[in-house]
Structure 1
Amino acid sequence: MSATRREVLARSGAAGAAIAFTGAVSELFAGSAAAHPPGRDGYGPLVPDPAGLLDLPKGFRYTVLSREGDPLRSAEGPVPSCHDGMAAFRGRFRAPGATTLVRNHENRLDDKHRVPAVDGLTYDPVALGGCTALDVDAHGRVHGERVAIAGTSTNCSGGTTPWHTWLTCEEVELKAGEEGHTKDHGFIFEVDPHDPHRTGAEPLTAMGRFQHEAVAIDPRNGTVYETEDAFEKPFGLFYRFHPRKPLGGRGSLRAGGELEAMRVPGVPDLSVVQETGACFDGVEWVPVPDPLAEETPIRLQDFGRKGITHAQKLEGCYWGGRCVYFVSSYAKSEEGAGGDHYGQVWKYDPQRRRLTLVIVFGPDTDLQLPGEEPDNIALAPGGGLMVCEDGEGAQHVYGLSRRGKVYPVARNRQQIGTPEEPGWGEFAGVTFSPDERTMYVNCYEPGTTFAITGPWRR
């Protein structure tokens, strides 16, 4: 892209940006109580931020809640780096508009600021990742910030439970002894947002040891769906976990259960499917031979002569209506995938055992416009779907309306590249406060957490 074109986009804020995608967008809003706004899609062009942090539409404003390296308000150490997945819960002090955020830190071994080790909350003292919790009032003031779990590695995304805890996922599968670690990694951990000592730092081992990304829970029966973001071929799998104590409240997932992986008959690689609306009935769920992956990573294990179904970059996951939705952020044949795309959104209907390809992004995508490589997803109060972009070029939080319009919501202006090769950190962890008046989102690098207010219901 020419410098002139890039400058025009910067001035315009990517207003009216169009993206090459196909599919039944309304499918993505199944189960959402939000009404579709009657007027135009989106909130207008982005206004350049004089402070050089975050471009937003007119009428919106942001507050920086937390930045990596600043002191934690608990005095436990500096705010950790690598801000990633996040969820919002009702505030610990129950004041009107109060919110408690639980924020992942995807630290591994070479990141600047680790999650401080805290007694009773640390799994493996060698590992640098974990979660922090922030108590925020309705005006964007932070009243508390503390470690929620430590000693985990590469905490990417996760998901909330019906009993209002956070499941944080390790996107790694290191074993004890590797890179100096004292324990195996690649697990899910449960975090109580208000009192993390109640949940401690115990892995939910029955839910599998692999490169976890995100989870979503069927609120009707407690089945947990899990995505795997494996970095190289063979790529990750889509899992479901049947807990022995479904919907049993905090700690019930520790009682164990059965882990299964999805097999789509005749489809060894989801990336080869390019036609939106394509349906696959008779989806099978195959028991995982060794959920702890003691000898072999799960995606390499023997699932029988029919094999198993893989997909590149399985990322966000959420429950809507009667179905679970999950995202494949991209697929590249040059990296070993069977097909190419800039993002897929899939829907699985458990009752019908049917998998449907709802949306395909690209491959004709302008990397400087919003719409490339969807990652974290959140339903917005005004009827939109908010998506964190994780790819090359400019980085946006972008909206996707019921009418199929992609529109910019925020653009990261924090430069982490060079004048010759500019770069911007990805967005992650988009979530809304319980009263739906504030959107919270992270910038991964430099680690920054924003609170964004404005006419969300317009």
Structure 2
Amino acid sequence: MLRGAAAGAIVGGPFAGLVARAANAAEVDRIERPPLEPVPDMRDGQVRLWLPPHFQYRSFHDTETQILLNDGTILPGRHDGMAAFRGPRGSIILVRNHEINGPGAAFGPGVPYDAMARGGTTTIQVTGMGEVIRSYTSLNGTQMNCSGGPMPWDSWISCEETVNGPDVAADFTGVPNTPLLQRHGFIFEVPAGGQSNRQPITAAGRFAHESVACDPHDGAIYETEDNFGFASGFYRYLPPRNPCHTGRLADGGRLQMLAVRGTPNAELAAQQTPGARYRVKWVDIDDPAPTFPYVPGTPALTTNDTALTYVGNQGRAQGAAHFSRLEGATYHDGVVYFCSTQGGGAAEDGPGPIANGYGNGTGQVWAYHTRSQVLELIFQSPSAAVLDFPDNITTSPRGTLVLCEDNVNDNFVRGLTTDGELFDIALNRLRSSTGADRSNDEFAGSTFSPDGKTLFVNIQASAGMSFAIWGPWRRLGV
């Protein structure tokens, strides 16, 4: 099963029962939870979500129609990762990514990082019922802003899930990168309620970033990589100063990549023994932010595949572990939880490239214990009927994990308790204004309001949309 990963394994552990139960589809299906039911949207009465009994929601920032922000910006689509912070007079501040690829004019006012990149973040002040108070551009000129993570000092870190730039040839879209003015593949800080300085944290790496989580005890930033067709890595960035003390994330630190002790290149994307635990070490990345040779205004010679694997290959040469498509990450009580979207299936033959995505499973959820430096598998989906491609992840104030699905079938928001109960929170039942079925649009950006009463979540599609969901969370076990 582990294909060479057993040497670093630790048997059992506090979550072993959780995994053993959750790995059994029949037992998961027997867990008694209220069935979801169609609920009308408080915005206009249309049914867009199915929720548990006694829950309500309101959608907002639906880009099927043109929406102007308070700064005059036309709201972009592709709503993705998001975080919630305390706002003035009981309001909530949301900072939200827009995962937009391809060269083109940057949206929004101010000086963008790259005037020819179309992604970024918008910031929205809302009530707990999803009523928009104001909204504006907070980061622009970036690309493929996928997920990221809220920081303890009230900032959002936005991640670029790309390595595009004028020094790299076209990506999977086939669109030349020649018009781009800057390198991409970095992370950017966006203060809650403020503006980003539009400067990348280059020492944190240039790779297909997905998400980040901060350990407030030492300020380490844990980073996931969604390198679709290749093995992905789990990284940490050690900044030169603890950002929890300085109130900002500084460049110039050290980037490292996770490896399993005693097992070089452990194949962790493969199906694991329930409750698998591994002692880990960290290997240094010497060249985290490469610039490849190129002549401005001419097509780059470095292939996108070469650029995508450049940073990770430095770690794998030192024994770094192979994961499948690492996506959402979140920190809670000494543990960084992260999703391996296609993990848990048959082992791949080598680190890539794989046309249908590296990994043959339907999802794993990992826990990295930051103090003991132990990696633990806390959930492995036995089939798509149980959990289908988990992506973004957050935790409730009580520690329940909330997982967003991203596949081509019905997409759910699901809960995973520390007792191993997997249950449904929301089901996408969107239809377009013309009646087209949009139930396979992915959920993304799940985040709880600071008081824990409202779950905000996005629909990541060209016609993006955000939701505020509220109800008896404690009764649901969230």
Same fold (TM over 0.5): yes
* Separation of aligned partners in 2, 1:423 and 1:417: 13
Query: Which residue of 242, 264, 289 corresponds with 1:246?
Result: 242
Q: Determine which of 73, 90, 101 is the counterpart of 2:86.
A: 90
Match of 1:76 among 72, 79, 86: 72
Q: 2:449 aligns with which of 413, 433, 438?
A: 433
Do residues 288 (structure 1) and 285 (structure 2) align? yes
CA contact (8 A) 1:415 1:424 kept: no
Distance of 2:102 and 2:393 partners within structure 1: 27
Take 1:387 and 1:90, find their aligned partners in 2: how far apart are those partners? Answer: 23
CA contact 2:277–2:375 (8 Å) conserved in 1: yes
Give how far 1:419 is off. Answer: 9.8
Counterpart residue type for residue 95 of structure 1: R
* Aligned match of 2:186: 187
Q: Which runs of 5+ in 2 are unaligned?
A: 1-14, 21-30, 168-176, 293-306, 349-353
User: Amino acid of the residue matched to residue 59 of structure 1?
Assistant: H
Match of 1:4 in 2: none
Q: Which has the larger displacement, 415-424 or 44-53? A: 415-424
In 2, Cα distance between the equivalents of 1:383 and 1:224?
A: 20
Selected match of 1:365 from 384, 398, 420: 384
1:45 aligns with 2:36: yes
Q: 1:390-434: CA deviations, max 9, x gaps?
A: 112101111223433322211111247999997520000011111
Partner in structure 2 of residue 457 of structure 1: 474
TM-score, scaled relative to structure 1: 0.82
Superposition deviation, residue 278 in structure 1: 1.5
1:383, distance to aligned residue in structure 2 (A): 5.6
Unpaired runs of 5+ in structure 1? 1-21, 28-39
Give, as a single letter, the amino acid of the residue that structure 1 aligns with 2:78: C
Q: Which moved more, 1:54-63 or 1:295-304?
A: 295-304
Q: Distance in 2 between matches of 1:382 and 1:301?
A: 38
Structure 2 length as normaliser, TM-score?
Answer: 0.79
SS, match of residue 436 in structure 1: coil
Q: Which residue does the alignment assign to 1:279?
A: 277
The alignment yields a C-alpha RMSD, in angstroms, of 2.9
Counterpart of 1:301 in structure 2: which amino acid?
A: N
Given the alignment of the two structures, is residue 221 of structure 1 paired with residue 230 of structure 2, yes or no? Answer: no
Q: Which whole-Å CA distance do the structure 2 matches of 1:218 and 1:381 have between them? A: 16
Whole-Å Cα distance in 1 between the matches of residues 362 and 184 of structure 2? Answer: 30
Partners of 1:438 and 1:452 within 8 A in 2? yes
Structure 1 residues 188, 399: CA separation in 2 closer, same or farther (over 3 Å shift)? same
What is the identity, as a one-letter code, of the residue corresponding to 1:403?
D
Cα gap change, 1:105/1:381 in structure 2, threshold over 3 Å: closer, same or farther? same
- Percent identity over the alignment is 36
Amino acid at match of 1:64: S
Name 1:318's counterpart in structure 2: 330
Q: Name which of structure 1's ranges 239-248 and 42-51 shifts more when overlaid on structure 2.
A: 42-51
* Alignment deviations for residues 105-150 of structure 1 (CA, whole Å, 9 cap, x no partner): 0011289xx8623214x11111110000110123432110111101
Equivalent of residue 56 in structure 2, options 52, 61, 78 = 61
The residue that corresponds to 1:37 in the other structure is none
Verify the 8 A CA contact 2:276 2:377 in the aligned structure 1.
yes
Give the drift of 1:55.
1.7
Aligned in 2, Cα 1:365/1:90: closer, same or farther, shift over 3 Å? Answer: same
Q: Does the CA-based 8 Å contact 2:332-2:395 persist in structure 1?
A: no
1:414 to 416, 430, 436: 430
Q: Cα offset for 1:249?
A: 5.2
Q: Deviations over 1:371-401 (max 9, x none)?
A: 2111111222466322111112101111223
Deviation at 1:251, TM superposition (A): 6.4
Q: Which amino acid aligns with 2:278?
A: F
Q: Is the 8 A contact 1:105 1:115 kept in 2?
A: no
CA contact (8 A) 1:173 1:210 kept: yes
Residue 205 of structure 1, CA deviation: 0.8
**Structure 2 counterparts to residues 89-168 of structure 1, below 5 A:** 89-91=85-87, 94-96=88-90, 98-109=91-102, 116-120=107-111, 122-168=112-158
The yes-or-no answer on 1:176 pairing with 2:172 is: no
Q: State the 1:45 CA deviation.
A: 2.5
CA pair 209-338 structure 1, distance change in 2 beyond 3 A: closer
Shift of 1:44: 3.3
**Is residue 345–residue 358 contact of structure 1 (8 Å, CA) maintained in 2?**
yes
Q: Aligned partners of 2:142 and 2:180: how far apart in 1?
A: 10
Instruction: Give the corresponding residue for 1:32.
Output: none
Aligned to 2:174: none
Equivalenced residue count is 411
Q: 2:274, 2:377 within 8 Å by CA — same for their partners in 1?
A: yes
- Is contact 1:205–1:292 with CA below 8 Å preserved after alignment? yes
Instruction: Measure how far apart 1:339 and its partner are.
Output: 6.0
State the 1:348 CA deviation.
Answer: 1.9
How big is the shift at 1:356?
1.8
Residues 179 and 365 of structure 1, relative CA distance in 2, 3 Å threshold: same
Q: For 1:110 and 1:280, how far apart are their aligned partners in 2?
A: 42
Structure 1 268/351 Cα, relative in aligned 2: closer, same or farther at 3 Å? same
User: Following the alignment from structure 1 to structure 2, what is the Cα–Cα distance between the partners of residues 119 and 417?
Assistant: 34
Q: Of residues 334, 343, 363 in structure 2, which corresponds to 1:343?
A: 363
Q: CA deviation at 1:322?
A: 2.1
Partner of 1:356: 376
SS of residue matched to 2:58 = strand
- The correspondence for 1:269, drawn from 255, 267, 270, is 267
